[in-house]
Structure 1
């Protein structure tokens, strides 16, 4: 494969790596937002429970208590669903991280191939230059020997 083709592949790999890094960052942000939202719901439930307790001390009708208890149960269900959804965010982060590692590995491989090709090309040029220098030195030596006779 030519160096030019490898250079194009490298640019593509860099773009893919950047997209994968962005996706990983986005997945982490989504999890942070999820955790913040979960904390807010938990805090709201705690505040609501305190309110229910305070109202209970002041005296509540059975229907009011039932209504407030039903709302508390709904909050518990919401918290349960939110916690179950947390696995999705963990899975998304894991997948994004694996994808980023894979494209990073590909980019590094392409860079290694490019470096190898450039090193080989430089060695070939160095050998050609050395060969020319040797030929030049041989010609100069031959001329000197011819001129000395």
Structure 2
């Protein structure tokens, strides 16, 4: 880590924080994707089970016990689907929270980089003025030497 002044140290720290936040955002997005995938799978499973219940009732028929078992299983499955919806919503909120944190950290890093660039520009301008002053003095002395000769 190359640190010339405190501003570079702050910029490096902001960059590390942004890197950590980027990893956290990736993890949150991955959890959301997994939750969405699992939610879809549960919904498909519920639909398939309802379809098999309908086919069983329309086909050769079902005993009352089988009908009650299927219906109670579908009710339990619906509860699981709703719980998973809650988990998906929580994951979405977490992604939004981490994304907002990432944006703030990115803005902070950009601010430090802007300040460092402005400082470098000001230093370059000061150096340029100093060099111009030296050149002017050199030219003036050279002119004075010519006048003496």
Q: Fold conserved (TM > 0.5)?
A: yes
- Cα deviation 1:47-86 (Å, max 9, x = unaligned): 1111112222322221221111111110011111111222
Q: Does 1:49 align with 2:50?
A: yes
Counterpart pick for 1:69 among 56, 68, 71: 71
CA distance in 1, matches of 2:49, 2:25: 36
Structure 1 residue 3 displacement after superposition:
5.4
* Aligned twin of 1:4: 5
Aligned pairs, how many? 146
Structure 1 residue 5 displacement after superposition:
1.1
Structure 1 residue 99 displacement after superposition:
0.5
* Aligned twin of 1:14: 15
CA distance in 2, matches of 1:73, 1:125: 77
Give secondary structure in 2 for the equivalent of 1:77. Answer: helix
* Aligned twin of 1:131: 133
Q: Could you state the TM-score of these two structures normalised by the residue count of structure 1?
A: 0.92
- Cα deviation 1:22-50 (Å, max 9, x = unaligned): 22222222111111111100111111111
Structure 1 residue 143 displacement after superposition:
0.6
Q: Could you state the TM-score of these two structures normalised by the residue count of structure 2?
A: 0.92
Q: CA RMSD in A?
A: 1.4
Structure 2: any 5+ residue segments left out of the alignment?
none
Give secondary structure in 2 for the equivalent of 1:141. Answer: helix
* Aligned twin of 1:101: 103
Q: Which has the higher contact order (CA 8 A, sep 6+)?
A: 1
